[in-house]
Amino acid sequence: MIDIRRFEVVAVVQAALDGLDVLASARCLAVVASLLLVWVTLEPFEDLRIATLPGAPAGKLAFTYLAFGALALLTVLLSASDNIPALKSLWTPLHLCLLGWMAFNIALSQSPGVSLQRFVLTASVISLALMIPLLPPTQAAFKWCFAVAALLLLALCYFGLVAAPALAIHSAADVTEPDLAGDWRGSFAHKNAAAAVMAILVYLGLYLATNGLRLWGGSIAALAALFLVGSGGKSALALCIGVGLLAQLIATIRSLWLKMLVCLVPVVLMNLLSVGSAINTGLAAIVGLLPIDTSFTGRTDIWKYAFAAFLDHPFRGYGYAAFWENANRTSAEDLGWASTSPHSHNSYLDLALTIGLPGLVLVILVFVVAPLRNFHVIQSADRSSGLARLFLVIWMFGVYFATMETFLLDRQNPTWFSFVIAAAGLHYLARFGVKA
């Protein structure tokens, strides 16, 4: 006899497929895949107990470039036809000036090949981030895409704590920084990277919880907050709370200039009290009166070294991403352990060092001043929404976090990727509003 139930199942599946919007589904999958590619990375749970040999990652670069390049191209193909005005709006004189300066800087870099290679990856990641806000067909789809990606990342990180703690928690056996033993890092290579992403997920969870996904958003916020505490990322934890409160204040201010003062003056002060205290005795004396670690956990030596190097090439810098790994810059014996650092531990100082003062000014105009102005436009047009505030708080967190860590223009850095998504989201919302 013929099993009629088999045909009933086929009919149900066929009906589901008939109602499926293939293009919309592909866009949502691309969003989730993009977020996980950057947040989880292609090499999660790195074993820090094993010393990395010089040049060891070189063979893996090709796959990294291919993955990001292919996904960036796919996202453009999936949504470009519906978002041509939005993409055209990105071609502003300011953006073109930054691109032109980067081309000039790469050409005059002390290592042009290295600078060009790394900028190609950075450009692919930026392109991918610029497409993320445009891909979801609706606001509901946007929320679910980010919720799914966040939950998968959190599940992976907590699974690592239970199933492979040696790979998900810093230990005394780590080749570098054994003093971080006990700090959670999950699938990330360092607890600071984990802490920054968890802070961003706290904001995302709160947004979801107050915009229709109460259970899922609340779970994301709670799990991310717990992991943030477990990571021991003091800077990220303090900023997560402080920036969250400050963003609420910014959202109530109607004057653009007052927004600028309230939002950006503290960033200037933080840079003066941190990097400034390392190079100016007067500022160092002021910091000495504060109840904080005046060495900023060892960063002051790095800032002194980086600033001294910056003064040698203040205009054109040393070349994009071409300073810290250049063996010819200065011997470690001459300048101590600080010269072996992989970066400046301050995004603004690092940009001045690598792409020069003009490059730093352009990056600040594009990624610091413009997003706040875009939020003001959104607010002035009475289009301020939960989504706009989410982008605002993530962007603000990045602006402040950059005073303690180097991530601006840092290729596939997860904090940088999330920061660009937020800045792009504010750019689009200021010009086109939100999708239904």
pLDDT tens series, the chain, 436 aa: 445 455 465 554 455 445 567 888 999 999 999 999 999 988 899 989 886 644 444 446 788 889 998 999 999 899 888 889 999 999 999 999 999 999 999 999 999 999 999 999 999 999 999 999 999 999 999 999 999 999 999 999 999 999 999 999 999 988 888 889 999 999 999 999 999 999 999 999 999 999 999 999 999 999 999 999 999 999 999 999 999 999 999 999 999 999 999 999 999 999 998 898 888 888 888 888 777 766 666 688 888 999 999 999 999 999 999 998 764 554 444 455 566 677 788 999 999 999 999 999 999 999 999 999 999 999 988 776 899 999 999 999 999 999 999 999 999 999 999 999 999 999 999 999 876 5
How far apart CA 33 and CA 27 sit, in angstroms, is 10
Residue 10: half-sphere exposure toward Cβ, Cα within 13 Å: 5
Nearest to 378 by CA among 435, 432, 419: 432
Backbone phi and psi for residue 169, each to the nearest 5 degrees, phi listed first: -135, 135
Residue 368 lies in a domain: yes
What pLDDT score does 8 carry?
60
What pLDDT score does 17 carry?
47
Residue 314 lies in a domain: yes
What pLDDT score does 28 carry?
95
Annotate the chain with three-state secondary structure. Answer: CCCHHHHHHHHHHHHHHHCCCHHHHHHHHHHHHHHHHHHHCCCCCCCCCCCCCCCCCHHHHHHHHHHHHHHHHHHHHHHHHHCHHHHHCCCCHHHHHHHHHHHHHHHCCCCHHHHHHHHHHHHHHHHHHHHHHHCCCCHHHHHHHHHHHHHHHHHHHHHHHHHCHHHHECCCCCCCCHHHCCCECCCCCCHHHHHHHHHHHHHHHHHHHCCCCHHHHHHHHHHHHHHHHHHCCHHHHHHHHHHHHHHHHHCCCCCHHHHHHHHHHHHHHHHHHHHHHHHCHHHHHHHHCCCCCCCCCCHHHHHHHHHHHHHHCCCCCCCCCCCCCCCCCCCHHHHCHHHHCCCCCCHHHHHHHHHHHHHHHHHHHHHHHHHHHHHHHHHHCCCCCHHHHHHHHHHHHHHHHCCCCCCCCCCCCHHHHHHHHHHHHHHHHHHHCCCC
Query: Residue 179, class by beta-carbon neighbours within 10 Å (0-12 exposed, 13-18 middle, 19+ buried)?
Result: exposed
Residue 49 lies in a domain: no
Residue 379 lies in a domain: yes
- Sign (positive or negative) of CA dihedral 38, 268, 279, 177: negative
Residue 59 lies in a domain: no
What pLDDT score does 6 carry?
52
Nearest to 422 by CA among 145, 132, 218: 132
Residue 101 lies in a domain: yes
Mean pLDDT score of the chain: 88
Q: In which domain, by residue range, is 343 found?
A: 97-132+246-436
Tally of structural domains, the chain: 1
Whole-prediction pTM: 0.91
Residue 386 lies in a domain: yes
Residue 66 lies in a domain: no
What pLDDT score does 51 carry?
67
Total Cβ atoms within 10 A of residue 172: 10
What pLDDT score does 49 carry?
85
How far apart CA 34 and CA 36 sit, in angstroms, is 5
Per-residue pLDDT tens over the stretch 371-423: 999 999 999 887 768 999 999 999 999 999 999 999 999 999 999 999 999 99
